[in-house]
Amino acid sequence: MQCIDAVVAGAGIWGCTVARRLAEAGKRVLVVDRRPVVGGNVRCETDAETGIEIHLYGSHIFHTHIPEVWDFVNRFVKFNGYQHKVLARYRGKTYFLPLGLALLNKFFGVELTPGEVAEFMKDEAHSSAVFDAFFRGYTSKQWGRAPEEIDPSIIKRVPVRSNYDTNYFNDYNQGIPLTGYNSLFDRLLDHPSISVKLSCELRLDAGVFKIGGDVLPAVPVYYSGPLDALFGYRFGHLPWRSLRFETEWMDVPDYQGTSVVNYTEAEVPYTRIHEFKHYHPENRSVMEARRTVVMREYPCDWKPGDEPYYPIDCEESRALLARYREAAAGVSGLVVGGRLGGYRYFDMDRSVEAALTLPL
Ligand code: UDP
């Protein structure tokens, strides 16, 4: 093993940001990932025929209100200014999310003004009609349980407004890297003090870190894989919600007219359809390509071997997580982070922020 000062295991957004910080602080860093490519679940693939950037693990839109995060990522890529809109399809009609004047006025066939929204929604019949149409079915599909059984903070991720702003996020800074997401990761790792080893896993064997058969020197290890996997699932599996995707090439230039449509009825088996060409409105040849690529997203239970996507916050998972965190705290030099390692429902900017503020 070459001379190294730190190991970063997991080349997602948290790991790559940590690796870059360490390298800029003068450390020699080895980055490893079990996959043959970097980028974690932000990984994309460009379709050879149409030039469409396919988000292999579902849509990723970079959005943040944290200036340090925006400044940091802009050192590596420039963003195209795409502003995210999400539409909801319910009983054959299409509405603009989030909950605001556009949705309410169309759904109820009224003409509310901003000052009338609060009073209107105080009526239980109105609020439950909206909840049942747009949140109950989608949430049951997404989480495999009734909305009453999930933490309210999850649904509160979707803004509620009393105006016609149909931007899905409240964050002013948004976009997709002009040169594609993969270039963000390639550039983060493009530093003379960073070396990358792919298709290999970090293991913790009787308190000793190993990569392949090699024992690591006693250097700090920054780990962003699943915490239970690192400990060989010794206390049991942390529960996750997983996703299955079906990708289809369609012989039309534009299938749904926008990047994401949520299907909020419980009876439709998928939660949303992504149409990736709409993420690059600045790219004329992609927008005008004769064909388009869409992806249907089906939530499912996680079982060993599946990709983990969403941590499930419940009593059982909190108790299990506490045991794994305690075990991790007992391993000298181990620092855990990211969505998987932290078992947190993080957006990309929160992962970058966590990596930027980590004491090194
Ligand atoms: N949600 C919903 N209906 C929608 C969109 C979202 O019920 O049309 C709920 C659902 O429980 C979901 C949560 O709000 O898990 C957060 O939505 P978000 O769009 O932030 O989910 P993500 O894109 O992270 O999967």
- The one catalytic residue in 21, 43, 241, 339 is 241
In a domain, 252, yes or no: no
In a domain, 347, yes or no: yes
In a domain, 122, yes or no: yes
In a domain, 253, yes or no: no
Respond yes or no: is residue 151 known to be catalytic: no
Its domain, for residue 67, covers: 6-81+178-236+314-356
Measure the CA–CA gap between 200 and 178, rounded to whole angstroms: 30
pLDDT category of residue 213 using cuts at 50, 70 and 90? confident
Residues 213 and 320 in one domain: yes
Residues 219 and 334 in one domain: yes
Q: Report the amino acid identity of residue 95.
A: Y
Measure the CA–CA gap between 129 and 66, rounded to whole angstroms: 35
Measure the CA–CA gap between 311 and 289, rounded to whole angstroms: 37
Please identify which residue in the block is written with the tokens 């108790």: 319
The pLDDT, as a whole number, for residue 178 is 98
Please give the mean pLDDT across all residues of the chain: 97
Provide the number of structural domains found in the chain: 2
The pLDDT, as a whole number, for residue 274 is 98
Respond yes or no: is residue 157 known to be catalytic: yes
Work out the widest C-alpha separation in the chain, in whole angstroms.
Answer: 69
Residues 220 and 344 in one domain: yes
Total residue count of the chain as it appears in this document: 360
Tokens of 268: 């439709």
In a domain, 95, yes or no: yes
Q: Report the amino acid identity of residue 144.
A: G
Indicate which CATH number applies to the domain containing 211.
3.40.50.720
Pocket of ligand 1 (CB under 6 A): 88, 97, 134-135, 138-139, 142, 154-155, 157-158, 262, 264
Residues 119 and 221 in one domain: no
Q: Residue 60 Cα, ligand 1 centroid: separation in angstroms?
A: 14
Measure the CA–CA gap between 58 and 194, rounded to whole angstroms: 28
Q: Residue 298 Cα, ligand 1 centroid: separation in angstroms?
A: 13
Residues 35 and 157 in one domain: no
Query: Which of 95, 153, 154 for mutating ligand 1's site (highest number of atoms within 8 Å of CB)?
Result: 154
Nearest-CA residue for ligand 1 atom 19 is 158
Calculate mean pLDDT across residues 65-90: 98
Using the atom order of ligand 1, give the atom closest to the CA of residue 137. 7
Q: Are 260 and 273 in contact (CB under 8 A)?
A: yes
pLDDT category of residue 1 using cuts at 50, 70 and 90? low
In a domain, 147, yes or no: yes
Nearest-CA residue for ligand 1 atom 13 is 155
- The one catalytic residue in 272, 279, 339, 350 is 272
pTM of the entire predicted model? 0.97
In a domain, 172, yes or no: no
In a domain, 192, yes or no: yes
Respond yes or no: is residue 34 known to be catalytic: no
Residues 12 and 44 in one domain: yes
SS3 per residue for 43-84: CEEECCCCCCEEECCCCCCEEECCHHHHHHHHCCCCECCCCC
Collapsed DSSP state (helix, strand, coil) of residue 266: coil
Tokens of 282: 């600045």
The pLDDT, as a whole number, for residue 212 is 85
Q: Which of 166, 199, 218 is the last residue of a domain?
A: 166
